[in-house]
Structure formats: C-alpha cells, structure tokens
Amino acid sequence: MKVVSAIKRVPESIRNHFEQKYSQTEFIFCHGIEEAETYLSEADVFVTYGEDLNKERIQKAEHLKWIMVLSAGMDRMPFEEIEERGITVTNVRGIHARPMAEYAISMLLQVSRQAKTLIAQETKHQWDRTPVLNEINNRTMVLLGTGAIAQETARLAKAFHMKTIGVSKSGNAKPHLDETYTVEELKDVLPEADFVVAVLPSTEETRYLMNKSHFQMMKESSLFLNMGRGDLVSSTDLLEAIRNKEIAHAVLDVFEEEPLPQEHPFWEEENVTVTPHHSGISPHYVPRAFEVFDENLERYLKQEELVNLIDPKRGY
Amino acid sequence: MKVVSAIKRVPESIRNHFEQKYSQTEFIFCHGIEEAETYLSEADVFVTYGEDLNKERIQKAEHLKWIMVLSAGMDRMPFEEIEERGITVTNVRGIHARPMAEYAISMLLQVSRQAKTLIAQETKHQWDRTPVLNEINNRTMVLLGTGAIAQETARLAKAFHMKTIGVSKSGNAKPHLDETYTVEELKDVLPEADFVVAVLPSTEETRYLMNKSHFQMMKESSLFLNMGRGDLVSSTDLLEAIRNKEIAHAVLDVFEEEPLPQEHPFWEEENVTVTPHHSGISPHYVPRAFEVFDENLERYLKQEELVNLIDPKRGY
C-alpha cells in the first residue's frame, strides 16, 4: 500500500514514526502538490491540506481509496468526483479546539486583569497596586456555538467554576455546557452573560446574527469575544455598543474585512482588543494533525471505521 | 452574644446578612480598632485583620473567647496572651488560592502567547501573525510549595492537561499534584519543568533555597514564576540566569526589596515580567473572608469544631 503526502516540511521525527510503525506501507512525503502529482496515480491514500485537489487530479489518482485532509475546512474539495468514485474522506475536525480555547481563556484573563495597564506600568518602572484585577472564576459564559471548540472552551471555563451556556441551531445538550438553547432563545440568555464567546461558523443563519439590540440587553460589565467569523456582527453596531458603554470590552480575532485596515477605529478604541485572526494557529498543528492520521491509518489497516468521516454529499 | 468587628468599610449587604441570619447575636461593626476599642470589653467574638491586637487589648477584652482573623498572616498576633487566656483563633487560610492561581495561569499564558509583543503590534495597527503562540497545555509544572495556593494552581494546570509536580518539606502527596517530592529532591525534578511556580512561604529553610545551580539545570525554554516570597532567590542569581539564557523568562510578583526600586534592572530586562506584589489581591477578598466567618460562626453557635484553627503555640 502507498501513502502519498503533499504536506510541505513534515518533520523528520514524524516521517520516521510512520515509516517505522507501518513497515508494510510505503510512504512518499512530497513537498507540495507539484511533486506529489507524479505519484498520485500510485496512491492508495493521499494526505493533503485539502486545497490542492480538483477533478483532474482525482481522475489521475485511479487507485485512491482514502483522502486524509489535515485541515478542518473542506471548501475546495471536489466532492462530486470523490462521491462518484466512492473515495473515503476524513479530516482533523476539532484540531483548533485546544489553541482556540487557550486563546479565549487567555484573553478573558488579559482583559479582566488589566494586563495592558500593568504592562504600561512596568514600562514606566511604576509600582502601582491600584488596578483592579477582576477574577474570571464564578462568572457566566455564554458560548455562541456548541461544537468542539466551544466545548473545549467551556471545559476550561468549568475549571474556573464558571456557569456555561451554549447557543446553537438545535439547542441540543453538549458536554461541558450547563445549559443549551436555540439561536431563537439567544435574547433570553444574553442578559445573564459576563462573557459572550462567539465561535460560530459563517452560514446564512449566522451572518449578522448579532446586532445593536443584542448588545443593549447585555450587562454593562460584560465582555464580547469573537473568534468565530467576522460577519457575525457589523463593525458599526459593535463600535456603537462599545462607545455607548453598553458592554465593557470586545476582544476581536475575526473581522468583516481581514487584515483589519490600518485606519479602522477598532485599533485605537480603548475597550476593543484586536488580534490578527491567530486564535487557531498553533505550533502544535502539524504533529496534532498527523496524530489523527496515525489513529486513522491504524484503523484503516485493521479495516475498522475511521474517525472524522466526511459525508461527500454534505461536504462536512 | 456580642460580635465586635474592627474591619473597615464592611459592605451593607454583608452586615445585613449577618444581622438577619444570626438574630440572637449582637453585631457591632466598627470602622477600625480605635472605634472598636470602646466595645472590646463586651466582645465575645472579635473580627480583625490581625494587625491591631496587642497584650493590653487582649486584657481589656475580658469576655473574649474567639478571634476571627480575616487574613492569612499571623505575624503580629499577641499569641502569648491569647494562649494564656485560652482564646480560640481562626483565620482565612487559603483565601488567596483562587486569585493567586488565576495570577499564575494568566501570567503563563501572557508570556507563552507573547502578549507584550501582540499588544505592541496593536498599538502600531500592525496585522502580523508571525509571533508564535505557544500553548500551555501538556506542559510540566513544578510547584515549590504544596499548600492551598499550590493545589489550586495545580488544579487549574490539570485542566490544561499539565503534569504537576509538587515540592515541599515533607514531600507528602497532595490533591491535584501528580507527584510530590521533598526539598532535598528539588534538583531531581527541576530538569523536567517547563514552568516552575514558587509559592513557598519565607522560613529559615526556604530563604535563598534556589541559586545559580538550580537555574543551570532547568530547560532553556523554561519559565520561572515567583509569587511566594522575594527571598527565595537572590536577584543577582536570577538576573544572571536570565542574561545567560539558562531559562527563557521570569515572572516576578515578589522581590527581595519591595516596592522594587525604580532603577532595578528587572524592570528593563526583556525576559523578566514584573508585577507589583498583587497576585493575592482580589476584589472578592472581603466577601470571601466573611464567608469563612459565616461558616465558623454557624459552627461556633452549634458548638462544633471551627475550621482554620490556629495553634497559638506555633502561630499557624
């Protein structure tokens, strides 16, 4: 059996691990699709970030039985051809959960404990114990979204003794969420929130889901953190809410336009913290992605059911 | 029965709570010891921060049976007179655990995720995703100290999937610590640490417990955080370790001299983060302290054993 990988710069330790563990399998680690293309026709398994496949390449890969996508996004996959050929697709769904949950907790701590003020004091050699360090424990977190990232964020929030409330399309119960509600019930739970953490994907239903009226019903002391999609709320509505002090602070990792334009008012607004859409970036990404592949390859060789199976009809 | 409190500015909600819950007990909430002194002779119970008592006042308080100290420090208590009179003493041991554990986690996240760099980028309206955001999960934390603060810090560290190792005089096992060792074994565990978190009190045995040789055996990537006492390590040794890159970063909340002098090199050192001995300060301090008193008062009236009893012979 042949595994062809188009992933660039796979660390030697990972290559060695696979070659030693699966000695009956041939691994061809290529530096990108251009190099991998030569071997596609022999591949039984193809490892990719999912952005380099098209109809022609699927046709060329005549022995292909399984595509392991080391990414969570599937937008550019040629699912029609994949379905016709009956090729199995799996991805690394949930891989962003740990870095994004750490992002959320670190930013809640940073804002609550006035890190910017304290760092400025340090620059001035100023020993000043007056800034109030609000604790995050015992607060209420409302999560917009209840998937893997929301659950991992809620799990950490529970360690800080928070109450966790999830809001999703279905409103179904999920691990680490004390309560769950449907999107229609959003306005019922927002007044309770100390922290609103948005991890919603961008769909027709979530675009501009939050508007002025939502911020108006939130606590004046509350914090809004968006690490989902930038089109959950309009910049104008959010800026108005901040300037009217309807909420205390917004932490934004995603924006309607990215990169956030140099002249955008968010950069200068005292009660807005801007980060450059990096909440999901992690130095552990590649090792973690190959761990999922490792588990699945083991299952594949034992003819067991794979994890993170994608339905080519739905694309997720 | 009469309870006299010398605690200044007790919120009305707390006064009301006690007056309503314990309607058979008379509460005299005074604004400091000067006012409280007038009532000491009638007090059965005295509530204090523990810094305002002396031999004369104990003599004056002829009915006193219990001193509730709303502090963890007991250095200024006249224990000889207290012991002679057989007065019960309790304190709020452990009250600093939550804010200090949050301090530790927030600073580990701040340093690991390069918050200073990102805040500087934000000031410059700079969208730059290159700073590496190291995660804190799956790391190894060595805690110097295994008391309430260390345990609460370790509990949060476990939520981040860390391995937690405690070092104490006895080396006894404690909750949330995967392994525990004696101080004599310190050098055996330091090479394993990604994070060394010091919460040791100042005693003869812990003064200058850490020196150059300890930093030399730590990982170059490791972080040292001291929120215990400033005399655990000499500033000179620590600065040398940082400048020689024997460790990657030091987060310091406590110092040999406090406030840290304006001209001290720690302020300017890139890989040292200075905070003004505030890890234990919390806006929730007074409510939490009165919660401990509440629990103990309930026990006292039922003639049950009190929590956080102090042995006047040992002073802790």
Q: Do A110 and B106 touch (CB under 8 A)?
A: yes
> Nearest CA of chain A to the CA of B88: how many Å?
32
pLDDT digits (tens, 9 = 90+) for A208-245: 999 999 999 999 999 999 999 999 999 999 999 999 99
* Alpha-carbon dihedral sign for residues B249, B255, B257, B262: positive
Query: In what helix (H) or strand (E) does residue B88 lie, and over which residues does it extend?
Result: strand B88-90
Does position B240 have pLDDT exceeding 80, yes or no?
yes
pLDDT digits (tens, 9 = 90+) for A5-22: 999 999 999 999 999 999
- If you ran DSSP here, which 8-state letter would residue A215 be given? H
Q: Do B102 and A113 touch (CB under 8 A)?
A: yes
pLDDT digits (tens, 9 = 90+) for A191-205: 999 999 999 877 788
Q: Do B99 and A133 touch (CB under 8 A)?
A: yes
As given in the structure block, the two tokens for residue A123 are 């620059």
Residues of A in contact with B268 (CB under 8 A): 125
pLDDT digits (tens, 9 = 90+) for B275-302: 999 999 999 999 999 999 999 999 999 9
Residue A205's pLDDT is what? 82
pLDDT digits (tens, 9 = 90+) for A99-152: 999 999 999 999 999 999 999 999 999 999 999 999 999 999 999 999 999 999
Q: Do B118 and A275 touch (CB under 8 A)?
A: yes
Residue A72's pLDDT is what? 81
Residues of B in contact with A164 (CB under 8 A): none
Does position B201 have pLDDT exceeding 90, yes or no?
no
As given in the structure block, the two tokens for residue A311 are 């339905």
Backbone φ and ψ of A12, nearest 5°: -55, -35
For the CA atoms of A146, A149, A151, A152, what is the dihedral angle to 10 degrees?
-170
Residue A206's pLDDT is what? 86
pLDDT digits (tens, 9 = 90+) for A60-109: 999 999 999 999 878 889 999 999 999 999 999 999 999 999 999 999 99
Q: Which of residues 210-269 of A touch B (CB under 8 A)?
A: 258-260, 262-264, 267-268
Q: Do A136 and B98 touch (CB under 8 A)?
A: no
> In CATH terms, is domain A2-94+283-301 a member of 3.40.50.720?
yes
Encoded amino acid at B157, one letter? A
Residue A236's pLDDT is what? 97
As given in the structure block, the two tokens for residue B242 are 């940082």
Distance of alpha carbon B193 from alpha carbon B157, whole angstroms: 13
User: Does A114 lie at the interface with B, CB-CB under 8 angstroms?
Assistant: no
Nearest residue in chain A measured CA to CA from B258: A127
Q: Do A115 and B106 touch (CB under 8 A)?
A: yes
Residues of B in contact with A118 (CB under 8 A): 275
Query: In what helix (H) or strand (E) does residue A29 lie, and over which residues does it extend?
Result: strand A26-29
> Nearest CA of chain B to the CA of A257: how many Å?
12
User: Does A286 lie at the interface with B, CB-CB under 8 angstroms?
Assistant: no
Give the angle subtended at the CA of A269 by the CAs of A265 and A270, to the nearest 5°: 170
Residue B307's pLDDT is what? 95
Residue B76's pLDDT is what? 87
What number of other Cβ atoms are within 10 A of residue A224's Cβ? 29
Mean pLDDT of chain B: 96
Residue B80's pLDDT is what? 94
Does position B188 have pLDDT exceeding 80, yes or no?
yes
> Nearest CA of chain B to the CA of A178: how many Å?
17
Distance of alpha carbon B175 from alpha carbon B246, whole angstroms: 31
- Which residues does residue A144 pair with via DSSP β-bridges, in sequence order? A167, A198
Q: Residue B232: CA atoms inside 13 Å, Cβ hemisphere, count?
A: 24
User: Does B270 lie at the interface with A, CB-CB under 8 angstroms?
Assistant: no
Nearest residue in chain A measured CA to CA from B274: A122
Q: Do B109 and A106 touch (CB under 8 A)?
A: yes
Residues A129 and A153: beta-carbon distance below 8 Å: no
Nearest residue in chain A measured CA to CA from B157: A159
Residues B14 and B29: beta-carbon distance below 8 Å: no
Fold match between domain B2-94+283-301 and domain B97-274: yes
Residue A314's pLDDT is what? 84
- Which residues does residue B37 pair with via DSSP β-bridges, in sequence order? none
Distance of alpha carbon B25 from alpha carbon A144, whole angstroms: 48
pLDDT digits (tens, 9 = 90+) for B123-166: 999 999 999 999 999 999 999 999 999 999 999 999 999 999 99
Residue A95's pLDDT is what? 93
Residues B135 and A282: beta-carbon distance below 8 Å: yes
Percent of chain B whose predicted confidence (pLDDT) is above 90? 94
Q: Return the CATH class of domain B97-274.
A: alpha beta
Residues of B in contact with A121 (CB under 8 A): 276
Encode burial over A188-217: b for 16+ CB neighbours within 10 A, e otherwise: ebbeebbbbbbbbeeeeebeebbeeebbee
pLDDT digits (tens, 9 = 90+) for B45-91: 999 999 999 999 999 999 999 999 999 878 889 999 999 999 999 99
Nearest residue in chain B measured CA to CA from A277: B129
Residue A41's pLDDT is what? 97
Residues B24 and B46: beta-carbon distance below 8 Å: no
- Which residues does residue A193 pair with via DSSP β-bridges, in sequence order? none
Nearest to B135 among A98, A136, A262 (CB): A98
Nearest to B135 among A102, A263, A274 (CB): A102
Nearest to B115 among A99, A110, A121 (CB): A110
Residue A117's pLDDT is what? 98
Domain parsing of chain A, residue ranges: 2-94+283-301, 97-274
For A187-192, what is the mean pLDDT?
98
